[in-house]
Structure 1
Amino acid sequence: MGGNRQELAPGKARGIEDRLTGIPGLDAVRERIGSWGADGASVPRHVHALLLGLRRLDAINLAYGPAAGDGALEEVAARIQHFAAGDLDGPWMLARAGGGTFLLVANESCSRERWQLFADQLAEMIARPIAVPSGVLRLSPRIALIRALAGESVDSMLDRLGNALQDANEQQRGRLAWADGEVSPPGRSSAQLETDLLGAIDRDEIEILFQPQFSLADDRLIGAEALARWNHPELGRIGAGVLFGIAERVDHLAPLSRHIAHRALAAGCAWPGELRLSINVTPADLAFGSYVRQMLDLVRESGFPPRRLTLEVTEQALISDVTLAAQTLAEFSAQGIRIALDDFGAGFCNFRYLKVLPIHYLKLDRSMIEGVASDKRDVAVLRAIVAMAEALDLQVIAEGIEDEAQRDVAAHEGCAYYQGFLRAPPMSAAAFAELASV
């Protein structure tokens, strides 16, 4: 690539720079995409990618100091990972492409409109204020999008993405740009999507998938996490990140959360034995004054045993009022419901939460697992987290296990449970019921 085009360094490995965000460099992306394809060299069909660049990063470093810039990069990496984890059903990977640039690749079958909607909602998430010790930052992301061509090399894909991102930065006609000048599909406007969502529950378009969870000691199925997907009649399947982003704009989070819990609990009642059900708790849930009463009513009405239910809460749901969150979660705990602190290790971790919250599980973010099979420092961090959890009488759940090597390390270091594509992707209620009956 010549001239002043943005260059993605082809030989960048996981180095000091990538230690900052805890995510790998581009070499790891080549390996991962190679594992998805039949020949190990070209990009397989269904691979989508985006390159996200942050503008004004130098100005932030000058105005607030390098520490603020570093903190912003860590927060951006955590937000991308969390958004992708909630929205994508197929395997995916995030990498640092240098400076303020991040590459996300996904082996995901979806339409161009759906990938553009994902990118647009991700840009909104990144643009939200970021608190740093010296003030509040607002970032302006630009995103280049691509659907890989059949038989295309990884370097060709990266080259086209780099050119598209440079064009997006130069033309300033919007925050999204498709590679090779492809015109962005019109899709549906935000107002149309918001209107669509208001009737989606009544039209039974919100589907509940289940991500199986297994014991690390013997690979025994121990339960599943409930995940929401919106089967939009025009755009196809829309993941939780986009779904909840739209619901937040139309003040529809509470009805959506109730619907998800109701459907998940109903499905769980048919499960054999002592299989557990995990349901995610949103910030809006914890802020809703009647959330505890309504959730406990749903549990009682469903007949699902409270002792087999886990509520997963992220740090993002705790930031606004951790004292109120602790009180709310304590009410659930008193009923025998267990609490998991989700995405532990993503971005900044406030260890005060471990002291004040009535939690039973630490659920490790996939970034805490990704490098454990090849990096001694990653193993050391995992070992320290597990030791801390044991001292606090907490069990550790490893998320994002994609190969046997990661599973072996997680088991050796003392994690109790795991989930990930190694054993099973998210699946329908019927498919999980069949898996549970084996």
Structure 2
Amino acid sequence: MTTLRSRVFRAVWFAWRSSATRDSVALFGGTVLASVLANAYELGPRLFQLGREHAEIDDIIFVAFALSIGLMIYTLRRYRDLVYEVKARTIAEREARDLARHDPLTGLPNRRLFDEKLHACLSAVSDARQVAVLMLGLDGFKRIKDTHGHVAGDKALGEFANRVTGVLRADGMLARIGEDEFGIIMSDIRSLDGPTNLASRIVAAAAEAFAIEKVSAELGVGIGIAIAPSDGVNCNELVRRAVRALCRARGDGRSCVRFFEPEMDTHVERRIQIERELRSAIAADIIEPHYQPLVSLKGERIIGFEALARWKNRTLGCIPPDVFVPIAEETGLIHALGDQLFRRACFDANAWPGTFTLAFNVSPIQLRDPTLGLRILAILGETGFSPRRLELEITESAFMDNRGVAKAVIDELRQAGVRIALDDFGTGYATLSQLLSFRLDKIKIDRSFVSHLDDSADSRVIVRAILGLAQGFGLTTTAEGVEDAAQLAYLVANGCTEGQGYLFSKAVPAADIPALLHRESGRTEAA
């Protein structure tokens, strides 16, 4: 009996804890009470008379009174629950607002809160009360993430944020703007000394090694600075100009600091124009390859040509490849441009003597694409050019950016008979063991070493060492940028096999190659 009573009590208690049950009881009680009160006036005299005759009227009055007390208690409980719910909802909304304005990894304000703070600061800006915006970009973060993983990268970001917070003054705000980009707002600065000194402290703080996964890693930080009101009083404009200063800082080297300068806008506008014209040029197939001879230093005879992109725009004039190729890489246009130039080069090379090779440069961005090998082989089949006459030139950075994909692409092409040359050897960061794992056929000596053979003992030592290394591994060598007879003599004396440069010929259009070959044959016959 006791057990049954306990079960009934627990069932009633759990049912009462349900808001639906309490609402049902309240509705029923309210209905009864309302019915009683509505008929009280009409039933009053009759009840009084019946009360004399029947004692049951006391029970009715008691029930009405009990229901009134119950409804009052229930109303108080619901009020208490409502207060609790409102309080909990307010806390939840405040936490949601905080989460929406903060970076979950570092706990720093995010771009939304950064913009809100900057808008508030700019509303009070004047010549006497300036505002500085510092945009910070990490140098070396991608290498840490690729080498040690995303967890290590997250730890590096957290540690960097802590270091910057430690050197930031109390009224400054540090926010995380992008994956490896941060922003700082300095309000009410009196001179440029404030942001300059802060930038110096940040660079020094970032220079100390980061302890990550039981190893030490290094990070640099580029900083771009814009000042309101001189550089703008609009939030977006000020941030944009600080970002442009950051781009200049990163381009100038590791851990550089640059203030915004008006000519940066002109530079960016020109870049935007070049990108727009580049898209049109690729769509119209206007960019064409020119060809610089590859010369065998034994007998100084042409054995092939390297294809070099050339672009002449009606509005902008001749745009050098070191200007438009990086833009093509940044925008992803390099894949379409590379395929287009390679196809035209293969068609042109079919008109050369059958022993001549075609050297073609592959961008590091292209080599990240696992379908590159298939596309190259497809173009070779389409044009009828033999893969054994093709020599792909790849830089050290292209090898190291994505070793797995790069090695798979290179192995696929080598199996088809394509030769692989390492371009600009000695200017990258790869080790010899890493490079040799790719089974190279040729090393190209960078022109920066060749150009100083006449006046630099260090350059002569480096070139001699590269030639000795290549001979030891059975690789052919090509010296770039050969411009005078003294350089040529040194290269020949130390065993260099091939050369290219203005001493032999500049790059020429495909239509000029027959005349170039004719002049060479005339010199050979005269000799």
Q: TM-score, normalised by structure 1?
A: 0.60
CA drift of 1:391 comes to 1.3
AA aligned opposite 1:127: R
AA aligned opposite 1:64: A
- Counterpart position of 1:193: 274
Matched, 1:284 2:365: yes
Residue 257 of structure 1 aligns to a residue in which SS? helix
CA drift of 1:138 comes to 4.6
CA drift of 1:293 comes to 0.8
Q: Contact 2:362 / 2:394 at 8 angstroms: preserved in 1?
A: yes
Q: Deviations over 1:300-325 (max 9, x none)?
A: 11111111110000012122222321
Q: Contact 2:203 / 2:255 at 8 angstroms: preserved in 1?
A: no
- Counterpart position of 2:261: 173
- Counterpart position of 1:297: 378
More relative contact order, 1 or 2 (CA 8 Å, 6+ apart)? 1
Matched, 1:406 2:487: yes
- Counterpart position of 1:205: 286
Q: Contact 1:216 / 1:417 at 8 angstroms: preserved in 2?
A: yes
Residue 423 of structure 1 aligns to a residue in which SS? coil
**Aligned mates of 1:210, 1:253 — CA distance in 2:** 19
Residue segments in structure 1 that go unaligned for 5+ positions in a row: 1-55, 73-120, 131-136, 142-168, 177-183
- Bigger Cα Rg: 2
- Counterpart position of 1:127: 250
- Counterpart position of 1:391: 472
CA spacing shift, 1:139–1:222, aligned 2, 3 Å = farther
Matched, 1:340 2:430: no
Q: Deviations over 1:228-251 (max 9, x none)?
A: 122111111112222222223432
- Counterpart position of 1:108: none
Matched, 1:365 2:508: no
- Counterpart position of 1:314: 395
Aligned counterpart for 1:415 among listed residues 496, 500, 520? 496
AA aligned opposite 1:342: D
Residue 431 of structure 2 aligns to a residue in which SS? coil
Aligned counterpart for 2:207 among listed residues 41, 46, 64? 64
Q: Contact 2:423 / 2:445 at 8 angstroms: preserved in 1?
A: yes
- Counterpart position of 2:328: 247
**Aligned mates of 1:186, 1:340 — CA distance in 2:** 35
**Aligned mates of 1:407, 1:126 — CA distance in 2:** 39
Q: Contact 1:212 / 1:223 at 8 angstroms: preserved in 2?
A: yes
Q: Contact 1:128 / 1:138 at 8 angstroms: preserved in 2?
A: no
**Aligned mates of 1:228, 1:125 — CA distance in 2:** 26
CA spacing shift, 1:399–1:186, aligned 2, 3 Å = closer
Residues paired across the two proteins, number: 290
CA spacing shift, 1:173–1:327, aligned 2, 3 Å = same
Q: Contact 1:210 / 1:225 at 8 angstroms: preserved in 2?
A: yes
CA drift of 1:341 comes to 0.3
Once the two structures are aligned, what percentage of the paired residues are identical?
32
Bigger share in helix: 2
CA spacing shift, 1:349–1:319, aligned 2, 3 Å = closer
Residue 280 of structure 1 aligns to a residue in which SS? strand
**Aligned mates of 2:506, 2:247 — CA distance in 1:** 27
AA aligned opposite 1:374: D
Q: Contact 1:270 / 1:433 at 8 angstroms: preserved in 2?
A: no
Matched, 1:267 2:355: no
Q: Contact 1:272 / 1:437 at 8 angstroms: preserved in 2?
A: no
Residue 284 of structure 2 aligns to a residue in which SS? coil
AA aligned opposite 2:207: Y
CA RMSD of aligned residues (A): 3.2
AA aligned opposite 1:173: E
**Aligned mates of 2:457, 2:255 — CA distance in 1:** 35
Q: Contact 1:276 / 1:308 at 8 angstroms: preserved in 2?
A: yes
**Aligned mates of 1:394, 1:354 — CA distance in 2:** 13
